Every structure is written in structure tokens, then in C-alpha cells.
């Protein structure tokens, strides 16, 4: 008997789904009670799926029984359920990146492991991605089952702020249920706590016209506790500043720092020129004027900002010319062949 606490639902596979392979990536941290119900729900949703699919479960250094449950369920459900075990807790962004690196599908789905996202929505989102030639279809939790004060209101404020600053207008950046074209999402790297800004990152390698949103089901959490609180709002603001800088000045940071430096230097120079005129033409004492110190400070700050721009340009060149690095460390796993480890329906097999 199914252990899933979610309401029963019939899987619905849209007609005319183009050929592809599908990877479902699920980062998990201390979600032992949700592992088996989640896999049961995924198999309910994708059991009749006409194309090969796999599930990549990433254990983000859990301290409860999650690793044991992942190993047991992977053995129970079959080789298409793969587990990536991180050596410690690297946080959600690194865990998601580990799953994306391990995913082999031409279409990749990301979702939370807390049963609040419903896999029943996956086929519908994939159908829209492929039939409308998109790079991302993001879930929109229109009827969100979370607390109003600590979750909904901060999320709405953050979504509007992110949309305004990044130019990618989505109503729900925080929904983890997203469907990507594999070639697109693998062209960006996620660091820090930037998983909330994946649509913005994707907009650096594709056009926002190829990014869409779709209303998805959202359930209240049944097992476990949320790993996030009101404190994440402040982290979002800091991350947003970095995203704004990266989207506009990633390849030309000298313009950002240099522009500020020139502005500060110009103001400082005008102040010093004014004081010089006062001293020369009116013979007034300027040595004790606060404006003198302000002028020197602005001029020096301007020089420092221009210098920072030069250094940032050098670091940018090093970044683009160096090899890739990873934000996580995972335990070794057995490599699979191209045709191994996929779930196929009897008809497709």
C-alpha cells in the first residue's frame, strides 16, 4: 500500500509529447520520512511515461536516516533511481548543482523533496517546454500552502523585486519545480545560495522570451520541518545585488567600478578645484575646512574604484580562461552506460 500522504491523482501524459530523455533531480536534507512517499508519487506520475526517465536524488549531508532511506529505496525501485551522496552539508544550491551534473536527460526537472511539489505536474510542464521550444518552464505556486506572514508575504516582495531588477518577470522565483532544456541549464553554474535566481542565471545564456511559467500544485508540508525562515529574506537581498551586477557587468566589471570611480573622482576634483580658487583668488584659509577632507576622500576613493575595476577585469579574464571548479564534493559512484539506468514502459522497451 502506498505511503504517500498526498491526495490520489491519475497520471496524465499529454498527447504528442516529443521524443526526449527525462531526469528528475531532487536535493534532500533530513527528509527521511519523505523519501519513499516521494518516489511512490514520482512513479505514479511517470509510470506510463512514453520516454526513458530517471530520478537523481542528492543527499546533502543529512544527519538523520535519509542516506539509509535513499539507499533502501534506490534498491527497491530499481537502477533508474540514482543517489548522489555529498560528503557533508553544502546547502541546497550545491546539492542542486550536483544533481544537475549527474543528470543525463535532455530535459531536466528540479523539485523539492518535501512533498510540497507534486510530480503529477511534470508531464504537463515538459510538454509545454518541448512543444513551445522553451528553455525553462518555472512552476508558479498560485495557491501556495504556506504561512502568510513568514513565507507568503516575504516571497511576494522578493519575487517583485527580483523581477524588476533582473528583467525576468516570473511570479514565483522560489518554486523549486522547474523544467529545463538540459543543454541550457548545464551551460550555467550555481554557487553560494543562488538556486532562487536560476531563471535570472539562465537569462544570461538565453533570451527571457524562452522562459515561461506554469501554475502547479502545491501541498502543505506533512513530514519534517522547513529548513528556511524569515532570515532568508536578507540573504535574498544580498544575493540579488550580486545577480544584478553579474547579469549586467559579468564580462565588463571595469565599467561598473570604473564608472563609480570616475563619478567620485570628478566630484572630488570639483571640490578641490573650488577650494583652490577660493585660496588663490580670495586668499581664504582652507586648511581646516571639512570640505577639503571630503574632496581628498572622494578623489582617493575614485582612484581606488578605478583600480578595483582594473583588478576585476583581470580576474574576469582568469575566470573565463581557467577550468571549471565544483562547489561540492560527492562520494564516488558507479558510472552508467548511455542506455543503462533508464526507466522505460513496456511499450518503449
Beta strands 107-110 and 136-140 are unpaired
Grid cell 546533502 — which residue?
60
Residue finishing a domain among 220, 249, 278: 249
Contact between 60 and 29 (Cβ < 8 Å): yes
Among 10-14, 73-77, 217-221, the range with the most confident prediction by mean pLDDT is 73-77
Q: Which pLDDT band, with edges at 50, 70 and 90, does 337 fall under? A: confident
Assigned domain for 339 exists: no
Q: What is the pLDDT of residues 50-90, one digit of tens each?
A: 999 999 999 999 999 999 999 999 999 999 999 999 999 99
Let me know whether 259 and 240 are in one domain.
no
CATH number at residue 94: 3.90.550.10
Tell me the C-alpha to C-alpha distance, in Å, between residue 108 and each of 6, 27, 200, 271. Answer: 23, 13, 17, 57
Contact between 117 and 34 (Cβ < 8 Å): no
Residue finishing a domain among 207, 222, 249: 249
Q: What is the pLDDT of residues 304-331, one digit of tens each?
A: 999 998 888 788 767 666 655 566 778 8
Over range 183-197, report the average pLDDT.
83
Residue finishing a domain among 197, 216, 249: 249
| Domain span at 275 | 253-319
Is the pLDDT confidence value at 27 over 90?
yes
Q: Where are the alpha helices (H) located in 64-181, listed in sequence order?
A: 66-77, 91-102, 122-131, 153-166
Let me know whether 238 and 265 are in one domain.
no
Beta strands 211-215 and 136-140 are parallel
Residues of the chain by 3-state class (helix, strand, coil), percent to 5: 50, 10, 40
Q: What is the pLDDT of residues 270-281, one digit of tens each?
A: 999 999 999 899
Least confident of 124-128, 153-157, 301-305, 337-341: 153-157
What's the whole-number average pLDDT of the chain?
86
Assigned domain for 194 exists: yes
Over range 16-40, report the average pLDDT.
95
Q: What is the pLDDT of residues 141-187, one digit of tens each?
A: 887 766 566 566 667 777 777 777 777 888 888 888 999 999 999 98
Let me know whether 266 and 237 are in one domain.
no
Assigned domain for 121 exists: yes
| Alpha-carbon gap, residue 309 to 260, rounded angstroms | 9
Least confident of 114-123, 228-237, 309-318: 228-237
Over range 86-110, report the average pLDDT.
94
Assigned domain for 173 exists: yes
Let me know whether 64 and 205 are in one domain.
yes
Assigned domain for 206 exists: yes
Of the two residues 337 and 226, the one the predictor is more confident about is 337
Let me know whether 44 and 171 are in one domain.
yes
What Rg do the C-alpha atoms of the chain give, in angstroms?
Answer: 25
Let me know whether 38 and 100 are in one domain.
yes
Is the pLDDT confidence value at 42 over 90?
yes
Assigned domain for 129 exists: yes
Q: Where are the alpha helices (H) located in 103-231, listed in sequence order?
A: 122-131, 153-166, 182-185, 198-202
Measured on CA atoms in the order 91, 172, 212, 54, is the torsion positive or negative? positive
Convert 319-341 to b/e letters by CB count within 10 Å (16 or more is b): eeeeeeeebbebeeeeeeeeeeb
Q: Which pLDDT band, with edges at 50, 70 and 90, does 234 fall under? A: low
Let me know whether 145 and 26 are in one domain.
yes
Assigned domain for 133 exists: yes
Let me know whether 126 and 67 are in one domain.
yes
| Alpha-carbon gap, residue 138 to 124, rounded angstroms | 12
Let me know whether 168 and 214 are in one domain.
yes
* pLDDT at residue 153 in the model: 66
Instruction: Decide: residue 9, CB within 10 A, 0-12 exposed, 13-18 middle, 19+ buried.
Output: middle
Q: What are residue 125's phi and psi, to 5 degrees?
A: -70, -40
Let me know whether 79 and 226 are in one domain.
yes
Is the pLDDT confidence value at 107 over 50?
yes
Tell me the C-alpha to C-alpha distance, in Å, between residue 237 and each of 208, 243, 253. Answer: 22, 10, 20
| Alpha-carbon gap, residue 195 to 173, rounded angstroms | 9
* pLDDT at residue 1 in the model: 39
Q: Where are the beta strands (DSSP E) in 243-340?
A: none
Let me know whether 241 and 260 are in one domain.
no
How far is C-alpha 335 from the geometric centre of its chain's CA atoms?
26
State how many domains the chain has. 2
Beta strands 178-181 and 22-28 are unpaired
Let me know whether 192 and 282 are in one domain.
no
Assigned domain for 341 exists: no
Q: Tell me the three state secondary structure of residue 252.
A: coil
Amino acid at each position: 500500500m502506498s505511503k504517500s500522504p498526498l491526495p490520489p491523482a491519475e497520471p496524465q501524459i499529454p498527447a504528442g509529447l516529443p521524443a526526449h530523455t527525462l531526469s528528475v533531480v531532487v536535493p534532500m536534507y533530513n527528509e527521511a520520512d519523505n523519501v519513499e512517499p516521494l518516489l511512490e508519487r514520482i512513479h505514479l506520475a511517470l509510470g506510463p511515461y512514453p520516454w526513458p526517465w530517471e530520478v537523481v536524488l542528492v543527499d546533502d549531508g543529512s544527519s538523520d536516516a535519509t542516506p539509509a532511506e535513499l539507499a533502501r529505496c534506490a534498491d527497491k525501485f530499481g537502477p533508474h533511481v540514482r543517489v548522489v551522496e555529498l560528503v557533508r552539508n553544502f546547502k541546497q544550491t550545491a546539492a542542486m548543482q550536483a544533481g544537475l551534473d549527474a543528470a543525463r536527460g535532455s530535459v531536466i526537472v528540479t523539485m523539492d523533496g518535501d512533498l510540497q511539489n507534486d510530480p503529477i505536474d511534470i508531464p504537463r510542464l515538459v510538454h509545454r517546454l518541448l512543444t513551445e521550444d522553451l528553455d525553462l518552464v518555472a512552476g508558479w505556486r498560485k495557491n501556495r500552502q504556506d504561512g502568510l506572514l513568514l513565507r507568503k508575504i516575504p516571497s511576494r516582495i522578493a519575487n517583485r523585486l527580483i523581477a524588476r531588477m533582473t528583467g525576468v518577470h516570473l511570479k514565483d522565483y522560489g518554486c523549486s519545480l522547474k523544467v529545463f532544456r538540459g543543454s541550457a541549464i548545464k551551460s550555467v553554474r550555481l554557487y553560494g545560495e543562488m538556486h532562487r535566481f536560476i531563471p535570472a542565471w539562465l537569462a544570461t545564456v538565453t533570451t527571457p522570451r524562452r522562459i515561461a511559467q506554469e501554475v502547479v500544485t502545491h501541498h502543505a508540508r506533512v513530514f519534517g520541518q522547513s529548513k528556511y525562515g524569515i532570515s532568508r529574506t536578507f540573504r535574498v537581498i544580498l544575493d540579488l545585488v550580486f545577480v544584478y551586477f553579474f547579469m549586467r557587468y559579468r564580462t565588463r566589471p571595469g565599467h561598473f567600478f570604473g564608472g563609480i570611480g570616475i563619478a567620485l573622482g570628478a566630484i572630488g576634483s570639483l571640490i578641490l578645484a573650488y577650494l583652490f580658487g577660493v585660496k588663490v583668488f580670495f586668499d581664504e584659509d582652507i586648511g581646516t575646512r571639512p570640505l577639503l577632507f571630503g574632496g581628498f576622500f572622494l578623489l582617493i576613493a575614485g582612484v581606488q574604484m578605478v583600480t578595483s575595476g582594473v583588478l576585476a577585469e583581470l580576474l574576469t579574464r582568469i575566470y573565463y580562461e581557467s577550468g571549471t571548479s565544483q562547489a561540492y564534493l560527492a562520494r564516488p559512484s558507479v558510472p552508467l552506460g548511455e542506455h543503462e539506468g533508464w526507466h522505460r514502459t513496456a511499450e518503449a522497451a
